[in-house]
Amino acid sequence: MVILPKTSRILTEMGENIRLARLRRKFSSEQIAERANISRPTLTAIEKGKPTVSIGSYLLVLNTLGLENDFLLLAKDDVLGRKLQDIGITTKKRAPKRKNKND
């Protein structure tokens, strides 16, 4: 698996954000791992932003921290995708008006 530097930085920041959320709530890593039903090494890997951890494990931790709705924000505001979609939208031409028999 090849991870680009930009992607690695994003994962690292995400892991740090999860770690900070845990610390703000004053939970130990052992408590979160137990409540999320994952191992402590998996939680450590999440908090370090390791790319080998399943997305499901990330979601379990976010759920345990009460941040599961943050997961729904992923790709929510797809500015580029919307612009590309708008470029590809074509409007249908109207059918010609029907001539009235009386005309």
pTM summary value: 0.76
Domain encompassing residue 49: 5-88
Residue 17 has pLDDT above 80, yes or no: yes
CA distance 69 to 76: 12
- 60 token code pair: 């379990």
The torsion of the CA quartet 42, 46, 52, 57, rounded to 10 degrees, works out to 70
Residue range 42-51, pLDDT digits in tens: 999 999 999 9
CATH code (residue 77) = 1.10.260.40
99, part of any domain? no
* HEC assignment per residue over 63-93: HHCCCHHHHHHCCCCCHHHHHHHHHHCCCCC
96, part of any domain? no
What total number of domains does the chain contain?
A: 1
Residue range 25-67, pLDDT digits in tens: 999 999 999 999 999 999 999 999 999 999 999 999 999 999 9
